[in-house]
Amino acid sequence: MSGLSIVGGSANPALARAVAAELGVPPAQSDLDRFPDGEVRPTVRQVRGEDVYVVQPTGPPVNENLVELLLFVDACRRAGAGRVTAVVPYFGYARQDRRSREGQALGARVAVQAVAAAGADRLLVVDPHNVALEAMAAGSVDMVTAVPVLAAALSSAFAGDGVLVAPDLGAAKLAERYAARLGRPVAVVRKSRTSATSVRAEELVGEVQGRRAVVVDDMISTGGTIEAAVRALVARGAVPEAVVATHGPLVAGAAERLAGLGVRIVVTDSTGVAPAPPALEVCSIAPLLAAAITRLHGNRSLDELLIGA
């Protein structure tokens, strides 16, 4: 594809290579120097006049990956790129979308505005924690969804009496999107967070008794939310079959915690956390990102790829 360059940061080089391969272009030449004090300095070459896509999710280590993203965007801009799009499939800090106590920062707004301030014309994200991210941004944001990719991974094994379960109220809309694709009803857990790594399922609304259940969420971090939901389902006579999330940064022993639940865990390769635990099923979003980039490069609508209503 002429005039298009894919620049991969260090957060998920495998995904950047897979996107470039889908598009049939070689990844752009780039380097990342690391200094003894922790600073990084990227260099990009031969992007003058190009429509450049910097692929750099901001999963763990979030701050490192975010700063590297900003510097890569700046490097592309200074190297004469014609247009720069930050492709950040997992957008770290998106959960800091409101202040729960006076005196806190609004991390989502700061992070999304920093991307535009660094020189990105556009930001492409996949299933952000809160779609309000777009409203917080100073520049253009396109939000595409991996729900069709993940629903396809479920459909063969999930039919009949199955129910989709949102592990908290915030995931109810997401569960509805899966439900619309899979033609199944939705149940919702009301959770309360007791610490950074543990949550309590207070209540479960919906018919789950005797049904196969699939828990869906935007992300799994420590696994606390998922664990509480699965245990609540078991306590109410459901048969938890799978857990599905777009993003699986899996920190603080989440992989072991999830392994103990004995259910299928399905995530995408958005964050690039490696190595993936053996029990994890990983669906690639490279074709989704390539489809979005093809449309953006050709100034065509993203419509059917977007999260939608």
Catalytic residues, which ones? 191
CB closer to ligand R5P out of 129 and 212: 129
Across the strands, what pairs with 244? 216, 266
Instruction: Give the residue with the Cβ less far from ligand R5P, 119 or 277.
Output: 277
Helix and strand numbers (H, E) in the chain are 9, 14
| Contact pattern from residue 133 through residue 172 relative to ligand R5P, giving x for each residue in contact according to CB under 6 A and a dash for the rest | ----------------------------------xx-xx-
The first and second tokens of residue 51, run together, are: 């429509």
Comparing CB distances to ligand R5P, the nearer of 84 and 243 is 243
CA–chain centroid gap for 21, Å, is 21
- 12 Cα distance to chain centroid: 12
Six-digit token string for 133: 């991210």
Query: Does 125 participate in binding ligand R5P (rule CB under 6 A)?
Result: no
Q: Kindly tell me which of 182 and 228 has the beta carbon lying closer to ligand R5P.
A: 228
268 binds ligand R5P (CB under 6 A): no
Specify the residue for token string 């990227």: 42
- d(Cα 221, Cα 71) in Å, to the nearest integer? 26
CB-wise, 138 or 196, nearer to ligand R5P? 196
Contact segment (CB under 6 A) with ligand R5P among 51-59, 153-161, 177-185, 214-222 equals 214-222
Q: By rule CB under 6 A, what string of x and - marks binding of each residue 48-77 to ligand R5P?
A: ------------------------------
Q: Which of these ranges, 40-48, 114-122, 132-140, 213-221, lies near ligand R5P under the rule CB under 6 A? A: 213-221
Length of the chain (residues):
309
Nearer Cβ to ligand R5P, position 224 or 272? 224
- Nearest Cα to 133, choosing from 205, 16, 240, 142? 142
The token pair that represents 95 in the structure block: 């959960």
Q: Is 30 in the site for ligand R5P (CB under 6 A)?
A: no
Is there binding between residue 249 and ligand R5P (CB under 6 A)? Answer: no
Among 42, 57, 224, 240, binds ligand R5P (CB under 6 A): 224
Burial readout 278-288 (b: 16 or more C-beta within 10 A, e: otherwise): eebeebbbbeb
Binding mask 165-194 for ligand R5P (x = CB under 6 A): --xx-xx-----------------------
- CA torsion through residues 216, 218, 221, 225, sign: negative
3-state DSSP of 147-194: HHHHHHHHHCCCCCCCEEEECCHHHHHHHHHHHHHHCCCEEEEEEEEC
To ligand R5P, the closest distance from the beta carbon of 174 in angstroms equals 8
Binding region for ligand R5P (CB under 6 A): 95, 129, 167-168, 170-171, 199, 217-225
